[in-house]
């Protein structure tokens, strides 16, 4: 099967796969064009990466959010020129599969962190050529993260749980490295 084993137990494994597929395409396009093909054209790297980023943005906003976690958001422009952000969430959370939900939120939270790391590395190394591309990636990722954050009923609680788990693992790892807990 073409679906990774971690996503096979999902209710919507193909949708979950595409939640990561365009991210992988954008990341591969950036890394290959930036680091592995030094003769690659900056413009071509920029174009291919932005295409994958746009496909990822559209897929996450219009498909995976709705199918994997039952959330939707959009901006409605009125005739008077004002706009209204509209957020929808599924009424019954029990129909959401745990694997679908975890895959969705993992991809949504980690994606801007990856691009933020690239931004920091480029700025620290004074290599500013790709900063514009990275900012574009951060805008796409940040827009989806903000939209889903606002329409999720329990996003803050979920983020706090993830932070607590990560902090606990870090403390265990540090204690283990000093010989405690053996």
Identify whether the C-beta of residue 52 lies closer than 8 Å to the C-beta of residue 22: yes
134 sits in which H/E element: helix 131-151
CA-angle at 133, arms to 64 and 100, nearest 5°: 15
List, as one string, the DSSP characters of 52-106: HHHHHHHHIIIIIHHHHHSEEEEEEE-TTS-EEEEEEE-S-GGGS-HHHHHHHHH
Question: What does the alpha-carbon distance between residue 178 and residue 40 come to, in Å, rounded to a whole number?
Answer: 46
pTM equals 0.77
Q: What is the pLDDT along the chain (182 residues), one digit of tens a residue?
A: 565 666 667 788 888 888 899 999 999 999 998 877 766 688 889 999 999 999 999 999 999 999 888 888 888 888 898 988 888 888 777 788 888 888 899 999 999 999 999 999 989 988 788 899 999 999 999 999 988 888 876 555 656 676 677 777 777 777 666 665 55
């Amino acid at each position: 099967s073409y679906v990774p084993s971690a996503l096979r137990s999902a209710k919507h494994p193909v949708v979950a796969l595409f939640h990561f597929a365009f991210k992988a395409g954008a990341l591969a396009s950036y890394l290959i064009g930036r680091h592995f093909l030094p003769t690659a054209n900056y413009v071509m790297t920029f174009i291919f990466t932005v295409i994958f980023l746009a496909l990822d943005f559209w897929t996450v906003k219009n498909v995976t959010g709705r199918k994997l976690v039952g959330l939707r958001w959009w901006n409605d422009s009125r005739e008077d020129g004002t706009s209204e952000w509209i957020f929808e969430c599924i009424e019954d959370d029990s129909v959401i599969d745990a694997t679908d939900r975890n895959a969705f939120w993992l991809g949504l939270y980690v994606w801007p962190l990856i691009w933020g790391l690239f931004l920091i590395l480029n700025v620290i190394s004074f290599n500013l050529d790709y900063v514009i591309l990275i900012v574009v990636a951060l805008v796409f990722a940040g827009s989806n993260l903000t939209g889903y954050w606002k329409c999720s009923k329990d996003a803050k609680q979920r983020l706090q749980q993830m932070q607590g788990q990560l902090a606990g693992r870090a403390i265990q790892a540090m204690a283990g490295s000093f010989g405690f807990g053996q």
